[in-house]
Amino acid sequence: MRSRLVIAVLVALAVVGAVSACGGSSDNGVAAKSPDEIVSTASSALEAVQTVHISGSVANGNTPLTLDLSLVTGKGATGSMSDGGLSFQIIGLDQTVYINGSPAFWRHFGGSVAAALLTGKWLKAPETGQFASLAEITDLNRLISELLASHGTLTKGPTTTVNGQKVIAVSDATRGGTLYVATTGKPYPIQISKPGPQGGQIAFDRFNQPVSLTPPPNAIDISQLTSP
């Protein structure tokens, strides 16, 4: 399993990086802060995040990479991803990654034998080695740390509305891309967007809503396929 899917997500999200949600109707004062203070305030606020849903599409070379994931702090994530039409379901739980790929996905990464063996089944693997990068996306704490660790020079834009939520825009003048942070309720970011052919848009919602994480039954352990 190659990690280019994960690399594309992390690069796209690390434009400014954060997790978001809506809530409340009163002005939270974040729009009056400096760009760096806005990001810092959002970072502090999301440390208490329990769950969040992320979805959207970013460029991965010449193909779109889409993701639809629900993440749970300290536990893992569940959802789906697709790279240029190669789709797969994913669950991260208890330091283990479970993958259920489409026939085209298995054929692309493992050939016709893998497609015949694994289509319609879950593959179970430790979140280390070749799956370490993929596991970062299913670990909310590590993902947040990665996203918030790096950005360029920030500039504050106008207040606007995104998906019905009042927000303040913060743009990365060095790398490009804009982070939108809620100006009412909790100051969580709600969207990251970057224009152009190598850009994309990631939305964050379902903040602190219940997420059920359970390991899929009858998963095939990768060690059974790689043992001599």
Question: Which domains, ranges and CATH numbers included, belong to the chain?
Answer: 4-212 (2.50.20.20)
* Rounded (10°) angle between helices 140-148 and 4-13: 50
Per-residue model confidence as pLDDT tens digits over 61-80: 777 888 899 999 889 999 99
75, HSE (Cβ side, Cα atoms, 13 Å): 17
* Run of H or E residues at 45: helix 35-46
How many CB atoms are closer than 10 A to CB 68? 15
pLDDT reported for residue 9: 47
Q: How far apart are CA 21 and CA 224, in angstroms?
A: 41
pLDDT band at 30 (very low <50, low <70, confident <90, very high): very high
Encoding tokens for residue 94?
């208890």
How many CB atoms are closer than 10 A to CB 109? 16
Per-residue model confidence as pLDDT tens digits over 148-160: 556 788 999 999 9
Output the pTM of the full model: 0.82
pLDDT reported for residue 146: 61
Span between the terminal Cα atoms of the chain, in Å = 19
Q: Which amino acid, one-letter code, is at 80? A: S
Mean pLDDT of 144-172: 84
CA angle 110, 95, 97 (to 5 degrees): 25
Per-residue model confidence as pLDDT tens digits over 38-54: 988 887 777 788 998 99
Taking 70 as the threshold, does the pLDDT of residue 22 lie above it? no
Encoding tokens for residue 152?
């360029």
